[in-house]
Amino acid sequence: MSNTSLSARAGIADLLEVDDSPDALMDLFAAHGWGDGLPLVAPTAERVDAMLAATQGDPDEVLAHLAPRFGKVTRRIIAVNAVLAGCVPDVMPVLVTAAKALARPELNLRGVNATTHPVAPLLVVHGEIAQRCGFNAGIGAFGPGNRANATVGRAVRLILLHVAGARPGDGDAAQHGQPSKYSYCVAENLAESPWESYPRSRGVTASSAITIHCGENPHNVHDMEAGTPGPVLDKIASTMTSLGQNNACIAYGEYFILLGPEHAATIAAAGWSRRDVATTLFERARMPAGLFRQQFESRAWFPWMDAVDDDSLLPMTGHPDNIRVMVVGGPGKHSCVVPSWGMTTSVTLPVEP
Amino acid sequence: MTTIKVYAPDGEAAPAPALLAPPRAVLSGARVGVLDNGKPNAGLLLTRVGEQLAARTGARVTLVTEKGQGGNAATPCTPGVMEQLEAECDIVLTGSADCGSCTSWSVHDTIQLEQLGIPTVVATTTHFVDLTRRVAAGYGVPEARVAVFPHPLGGSDDDTILAWADAAVDEVISLLTS
């Protein structure tokens, strides 16, 4: 999209008249093909203005365009969808930043929205704003029960449905969809992380940040026994190693490894860094090159992978840096793996007021 | 009952204004390019269509290419390959648009080629033709040149694919010339 079109302002969104009842609002939205199927909060001017009061800048400045509809993202249209989702105004800066991240070319929103794969953007909130707005990084971070996680994740999906045009059957061909297409938002558990914050490890030093990774639902990893890193990482590697994941034929795809705090503590107590975790998983999550070749005629591999002989073991992703590690969740002995759709790269951005 | 006023949630859209390239009255002498997105059997299908079209009309297949390093069904064609197509081809056959992301990006490539003045046929299947047309309509050109093949391309044997290609040549010629 050209810079000139981004400098424009959008017209103020249409106002529609409707009976003052939840059922009438649902009927109105259904008639237009809007909504996610769940009850909605009426986006009246009063509520939208309250949402806008929590963010700085021109409400009608075009911040980005979202594919495939080329919908104009403005603070006002974000606020409308935030109201619909049940958000409180304080989370607006998170949503504005998330919308900008979705428009980044390396995220490939056109592909993410269109694919038959079930992919959903996972929004991770980091730092000061996560604490201030009450995002849940601990027990049950993926839900249910926390308003910030639930409604911000839902607002992201409503923006994709309405502004980006990712309606199932039109802009979204996902064969099955997945539950995380309703809402997919957690916070990083920095308080119980043995390492620096995830954004800082990616060079983003702001006090608040967000990350978006477009992937599958979380895959659980269970290890109740290990007192050393090896067995925990073996099980994570085993969870990553699957011929059915897009990562198996797309070497560009990342993995997000969301360590429970206890697994992270076990690993860090042995002196291991975040990078040690990634490189170990890169070494251990492997299958024979010949098996990949036998299973996939079409492969998006790096050139060096084509040169490896059939008996050698190839990693599930093309580079250790594609394995991203952070701490999420509460007490217990579980972690999770979020595989990628494939042709998408995660985005981490500072949250501005 | 009292009424309230609520905002519509979608806001304005800014569809890229697209126009199709003019059709070619005569295909004789035309240089045909095949832009294979790497989907299973896409290259086999499109190359056969190109060869049969050339045999029928006096055109010639001058370039068979994938999208370039790092490019595939789920990404746009790389700029280098796009420049090569512009330099070496008068018409292009591309696809296959027979899944979600590959449809969206194949139509994107098609629209880009049409903007360069190169009539381009995108190959889809019966199961994805509606999506293909909707994506094209999103660019403002619901009348984009779409050739519809049986479904599925992936998993069908070579003889079947070649027969489907042969059966589609008339339709492809018609899409390029009218």
Provide the residue ranges of all domains of chain A, joining segments of one domain with +. Answer: 3-116+143-183, 219-339
Question: Over chain A, what is the mean pLDDT?
Answer: 95
B15 in any annotated domain: no
Confidence of residue B17 (pLDDT cuts 50, 70, 90): low
Beta bridge partners of A172: A168
B21 in any annotated domain: no
pLDDT digits (tens, 9 = 90+) for A84-122: 999 999 999 999 999 999 999 999 999 999 999 999 999
Average pLDDT of span A6-25: 83
B54: domain range?
A: 31-177
Q: How many domains does chain B have?
A: 1
B50 in any annotated domain: yes
Confidence of residue B15 (pLDDT cuts 50, 70, 90): low
pLDDT at residue A11, as a whole number: 75
Choosing among B1, B2, B3, B4, which should be mutated to test the A contact, i.e. which has the most A CBs within 10 A?
A: B4
In the three-class reduction of DSSP (H, G, I as helix; E, B as strand; rest coil), residue B18 is classed as: coil
CATH number of the structural domain spanning residue B67: 3.40.50.1700
pLDDT digits (tens, 9 = 90+) for B67-89: 998 889 999 999 999 999 999 99
pLDDT at residue B16, as a whole number: 63
Q: Which residues contact B59 (CB under 8 A, 6 or more apart)?
A: B27, B28, B29, B30, B31, B32, B53, B91
Average pLDDT of span A46-54: 97
Answer whether residue A5 shows pLDDT above 90.
no
- Give the residue among A222, A214, A147, A133 at the shortest CA–CA distance from A174: A214
Question: Over chain B, what is the mean pLDDT?
Answer: 94
Looking at beta carbons, which residues of chain B come within 8 Å of A117?
Answer: 100-101
Average pLDDT of span A252-264: 97
pLDDT at residue A48, as a whole number: 98
pLDDT at residue B138, as a whole number: 85
B62 in any annotated domain: yes
Answer whether residue B18 shows pLDDT above 90.
no
pLDDT digits (tens, 9 = 90+) for A22-43: 999 999 999 999 999 999 999 9
Q: How far is B146 from chain A (nearest CA, A)?
A: 17
Choosing among B5, B101, B156, which should be mutated to test the A contact, i.e. which has the most A CBs within 10 A?
A: B101
Answer whether residue B173 shows pLDDT above 70.
yes
Q: How far is A176 from chain B (nearest CA, A)?
A: 12
Average pLDDT of span A253-260: 98
Residue A337 phi/psi, 5° resolution? -120, 130
Q: Report the distance separating Cα A309 and Cα B28, nearest Å.
A: 46
Percent of all residues in chain A with a pLDDT value above 70, rounded to a whole number: 98
pLDDT at residue A247, as a whole number: 94
- pTM comes to 0.91
Alpha helices in B58-157 (DSSP H): 79-88, 100-115, 129-138
Q: Do B6 and A111 touch (CB under 8 A)?
A: no
B123 in Cβ contact with B96 (< 8 Å):
yes
